[in-house]
Chain A
Amino acid sequence: QVHLQESGPGLVKPSETLSLTCTVSGGSLSGYFWTWVRQAPGKGLEWIGYIYSSGSSTYNPSLRSRVTISADTSTNQFSLRLNSVTTEDTAKYYCARRRTSSSGIDSWGQGILVIVSS
C-alpha cells in the first residue's frame, strides 16, 4: 500500500516561493503519474499538474508560468514549487498518485495547509 506524505513550510510570504515535497513510501515512483491538487479553505479541488516517472510534466495552464513539479527517484520524492505567491494561493496542498493515463487519482496524502501571509 503506497503512502504519501507532504512536507514543507506552512507559512509563506507574498511574492515568495512555495516549496513542498511529497515523500512516497511503500512503492516506487516508476510507472505512475505523480500529481498535486490544492483546495482553498472551504472551497473545491483544483488540479495543479503532474509529473510522470520519466520526468515529463504537465501543468494547469492557469498556473504554468509559476509552477514547477520535479521528481527524484533516488529519494522517492517529488516536489512542487510555486513562484510569486499571493493570498490566493492559500490552500491545503495534496500530493497524490494516478496509476495510469486512463485512471483516476487512487492514492492521496493527508494534505498540508499553506498560508500566504506577511
Chain B
Amino acid sequence: DIVMTQSPDSLAVSLGERATVNCKSSQTILYGSNNKPYLSWYQQKPGQPPKLLIYWASARESGVPDRFSGSGSGTSFTLTISSLQPEDVAVYYCQQYYSVPHTFGQGTKLEI
C-alpha cells in the first residue's frame, strides 16, 4: 500500500494568514500516461462528508474559492490556503488514487 503522511497533525492560523498542509507519499503517484499526480485534497467540516477541493495535485474543483491551491510533485505535495477565513476551520485530507487501495492521509486539523 502507498502510505500518505500528512504534516502537521494540527495547525492554528490567524484569520487572514496563510495556512499550509503537507502530504508525502511513500512512492510515486505520478501517472505515466498523462504525467499527472493522482492526488486529491478534501475538506471535512464537523458532521459533514468530505468535500473535494483539489485533484491532480493542483487542479481546483469547480466552485472552490481561489484562496485554496495545491502544488507539489514526485512524492511531496502541499495544500495552501492563502488567506484563512472562519469557514475554513476543518480537517483536511490528502488521498492518492494512483494505486489500490486509494489511501488517505491521517488528516490535518486546521483551527483559528
Chain A residues with a Cβ under 8 A of chain B: 37, 44-47, 58-62, 94, 96, 98, 102-106, 108-111
Contacts and interface: CB of A to CB of B under 8 A. Distances in A.
Given A58-B100, A106-B52, 15 more contacts: A44-B104, A45-B93, A45-B104, A47-B103, A60-B100, A61-B101, A102-B36, A103-B56, A104-B41, A104-B42, A104-B52, A105-B42, A105-B95, A108-B49, A111-B49
Contacts of B50: 37, 45, 94, 105, 108
A107 to B, nearest CB: 8
- Give the secondary structure class of A's interface: strand
B75 to A, nearest CB: 18
Interface of B: 1, 31, 34, 36, 38, 40-42, 44, 48-52, 54-56, 61, 93, 95, 97, 100-107
Contacts, number: 64
A61 B100 CA distance: 8
Contact of A44 (B34, B93, B97): B93
Nearest to B96: A47
A104 B101 contact: no
